[in-house]
Amino acid sequence: MSPLEKAQARVRELREQINEHNYRYHVLDDPEVPDAEYDRLTQELQALEADFPSLVTSDSPTQRVGDTPLDAFTQVKHKAPMLSLENAFSDQELEAFDQRLHERLDDVAEIEYACEPKYDGIAVSLLYENGKLTRGATRGDGATGEDITQNVRTINTIPLSLRGDRFPALLEVRGEIYMPKAGFEKLNIQALSEGTKTFANPRNAAAGSLRQLDPKITEARPLIMCAYSVGVSDGGSLPDKHADILQQLRDWGFLISEQLAVVSGVLGCVEYYSGIAEKRNGLAYEIDGVVFKVNRLDLQQQLGFVSRAPRWAIARKFPAQEEMTVLNDVEFQVGRTGAITPVAKLEPVLVGGVTISNASLHNKDEIARLGVKIGDTVIVRRAGDVIPKVVKVVTSRRPEDAEEIQFPRICPVCPAAIEIPEDESIARCTAGLSCGAQLKESIKHFCSRQAMDIEGLGDKLVEQFVDQKLIKSVADIYSLEAEPVARLERLGEKSAANLVAAIEKSKNTTLPRFLYALGIREVGQATALALANYFLTLELLAEASEEELQNVPDVGPVVAKNIVEFMHSSNNKAVISALLKAGVKWPKVEPPEVDQLPLDGQTIVLTGTLNSMSRDDAKARLVALGAKVVGSVSAKTDKVVAGPGAGSKLVKAQDLGIEVVDEDAFLAWVDELEAAH
Question: Cα angle vertex 214, ends 131, 126, to 5°?
Answer: 25
Catalytic site includes residue 317: no
Q: CB of 651 within 8 A of CB of 608? A: no
CA–CA distance from 513 to each of 77, 187, 484, 530, 598 (Å)? 68, 39, 29, 11, 22
- The residue among 168 and 310 lying less far from ligand I6G, judged by its C-beta, is 310
Contacts 24+ apart (CB under 8 A), 487-493: 489/461, 489/464, 489/465
Strands 603-607 and 418-419: unpaired
Catalytic residue among 77, 118, 636, 652: 118
Asked if 291 is part of the footprint of ligand I6G (rule: CB under 6 A), the reply reads yes
Q: CB of 615 within 8 A of CB of 562? A: no
- The residue among 293 and 628 lying less far from ligand I6G, judged by its C-beta, is 293
φ, ψ (nearest 5 deg) of residue 478: -80, -5
HSE-up (13 A, CA, CB side) for residue 403: 9
- The residue among 291 and 327 lying less far from ligand I6G, judged by its C-beta, is 291
Asked if 101 is part of the footprint of ligand I6G (rule: CB under 6 A), the reply reads no
Q: CB of 131 within 8 A of CB of 160? A: no
- The residue among 123 and 485 lying less far from ligand I6G, judged by its C-beta, is 123
Contacts of 324 (CB under 8 A, 6+ apart): 349, 377, 378, 379, 380, 394
- The residue among 310 and 647 lying less far from ligand I6G, judged by its C-beta, is 310
- The residue among 291 and 454 lying less far from ligand I6G, judged by its C-beta, is 291
**Minimum gap (Å) between residue 101 Cβ and ligand I6G:** 15
Asked if 85 is part of the footprint of ligand I6G (rule: CB under 6 A), the reply reads yes
Distance CA 578, CA 590 (A): 25
Asked if 310 is part of the footprint of ligand I6G (rule: CB under 6 A), the reply reads yes
**Minimum gap (Å) between residue 297 Cβ and ligand I6G:** 12
**Minimum gap (Å) between residue 27 Cβ and ligand I6G:** 17
**Minimum gap (Å) between residue 266 Cβ and ligand I6G:** 18
Among 118, 336, 382, 444, binds ligand I6G (CB under 6 A): 118
Kindly determine how many residues on this chain lie close enough to bind ligand I6G according to the rule CB under 6 A: 11
Binding mask 180-219 for ligand I6G (x = CB under 6 A): ----------------------------------------
Binding mask 35-74 for ligand I6G (x = CB under 6 A): ----------------------------------------
Q: CB of 198 within 8 A of CB of 188? A: yes
Among 171, 313, 372, 393, binds ligand I6G (CB under 6 A): 313
- The residue among 313 and 625 lying less far from ligand I6G, judged by its C-beta, is 313
Distance CA 102, CA 109 (A): 8
- The residue among 47 and 143 lying less far from ligand I6G, judged by its C-beta, is 143
- The residue among 242 and 336 lying less far from ligand I6G, judged by its C-beta, is 242
- The number of residues in the chain equals 677
Q: CB of 647 within 8 A of CB of 192? A: yes
Q: CB of 478 within 8 A of CB of 583? A: yes
Asked if 116 is part of the footprint of ligand I6G (rule: CB under 6 A), the reply reads yes
Residue range at the interface with ligand I6G (CB under 6 A); choices 116-124, 127-135, 506-514, 624-632 = 116-124
Question: Cα angle vertex 302, ends 299, 307, to 5°?
Answer: 115
Asked if 83 is part of the footprint of ligand I6G (rule: CB under 6 A), the reply reads yes
- The residue among 118 and 652 lying less far from ligand I6G, judged by its C-beta, is 118
φ, ψ (nearest 5 deg) of residue 518: -60, -25
Asked if 26 is part of the footprint of ligand I6G (rule: CB under 6 A), the reply reads no
Question: Interaction with ligand I6G in 324-383: which residues (CB under 6 A)?
Answer: none
Task: Look up residue 64 and give its DSSP letter.
Answer: S
Asked if 286 is part of the footprint of ligand I6G (rule: CB under 6 A), the reply reads no
**Minimum gap (Å) between residue 286 Cβ and ligand I6G:** 13
- The residue among 76 and 291 lying less far from ligand I6G, judged by its C-beta, is 291
**Minimum gap (Å) between residue 651 Cβ and ligand I6G:** 38
**Minimum gap (Å) between residue 291 Cβ and ligand I6G:** 4
CA–CA distance from 80 to each of 172, 176, 246, 336 (Å)? 9, 17, 19, 61
| SS3 of residue 317 by DSSP | strand
**Minimum gap (Å) between residue 229 Cβ and ligand I6G:** 5
Three-class secondary structure assignment of 158-208: CCCECCCCCCCCEEEEEEEEECCHHHHHHHHHHHHHHCCCCCCCHHHHHHH
Distance CA 519, CA 516 (A): 6
Contacts of 1 (CB under 8 A, 6+ apart): 9
Contacts of 613 (CB under 8 A, 6+ apart): none
- The residue among 116 and 376 lying less far from ligand I6G, judged by its C-beta, is 116
Question: Interaction with ligand I6G in 636-665: which residues (CB under 6 A)?
Answer: none
Three-class secondary structure assignment of 572-586: HHHHHHHHHHHCCEC
**Minimum gap (Å) between residue 467 Cβ and ligand I6G:** 53
Distance CA 171, CA 234 (A): 7
Distance CA 583, CA 585 (A): 6
**Minimum gap (Å) between residue 382 Cβ and ligand I6G:** 23
What stretch of H or E contains 436?
helix 436-447
Binding mask 413-452 for ligand I6G (x = CB under 6 A): ----------------------------------------
φ, ψ (nearest 5 deg) of residue 53: -60, -25
Asked if 285 is part of the footprint of ligand I6G (rule: CB under 6 A), the reply reads no
| SS3 of residue 621 by DSSP | helix
**Minimum gap (Å) between residue 312 Cβ and ligand I6G:** 9
Distance CA 546, CA 318 (A): 56
**Minimum gap (Å) between residue 350 Cβ and ligand I6G:** 24
Residue range at the interface with ligand I6G (CB under 6 A); choices 115-123, 364-372, 458-466, 498-506 = 115-123
Binding mask 121-160 for ligand I6G (x = CB under 6 A): --x-------------------------------------
* Catalytic positions, written as ranges: 118
> By the criterion CB under 6 A, which residues form the site for ligand I6G?
83, 85, 116, 118, 123, 176, 228-229, 291, 310, 313
